[in-house]
Amino acid sequence: MWLLLAGRGYGKTRTINEWAMTQAKPNTRGAIVGATAADVRDIIVEGESGLRTIAPYLNYEPSKRRVTWPNGAQASLFSADEPDRLRGPQFHWAICDELAAWRYPEAWAMLMLGMRLGTDPRCAVATTPRPTKLIRELIASPTTFVTRGSTYENRANLAPAFFAQIITQYEGTWLGRQEINA
C-alpha cells in the first residue's frame, strides 16, 4: 500500500495516474476509484492530470466504465458512493483518489476484498489528509508506505494568483494546515 498524503495542488492525482501506467502490465486488471463518478471521469480520467492527458492513446469507454491499454491491461472505474459495485470484481492493482473524502468507508473494504489477483496486488492512494479513522488506520499499518508533501512543493506549476490569494488567506489556519501543509 502506498499512501500519498499531500496538500492541494501537490500533484497527487498526476502521481497516482503515473503509477497506474507502470502497473498496467499486459493483461492485468486494475481499479480506479474516486469519491464520485463525476470525480473519476472529470479528474482521474479526463482532467489536466488525468490518464487521457498522460496517455491519449488509452481507450476510454465511459459507458462501460473502463480504460484499456494497448497491451490488454484494463482498469474498471468505480465511485466510492456505490460500494456494492466493488463486490465481485478482482484486481492486480488499484488507484484511489481523495480517500479521506469518501462518504462510505465500506467502499474501501469492498475494494480491499477484491485485491486478490497475481502474486503481489498493490494499491496507491492519494488524498488531502483528514484525521478519519480509515486514514489513521492506514498510516499505522506496517504494510503502508506513507509519502507526505505540501502545496508549496509544486508551486512552480501552480497559478501565482493561487498563492497570492488563497494560500495567504488560509496559511496558519486549521484549514490551511490540512489542505496546504497536509
- Taking only the tens place, the pLDDT of each residue in 27-70 is 999 999 999 999 999 999 999 999 999 999 999 999 999 999 99
Counting as low any pLDDT under 50, the low residues of the chain are none
Whole-model pTM above 0.85? yes
CATH number of 2-179: 3.40.50.300
Residue ranges per structural domain of the chain: 2-179
Edge-to-edge, what's the strand order for the sheet holding 66-68? 59-61, 66-68, 74-79, 29-34, 93-97, 122-127, 2-6, 145-149
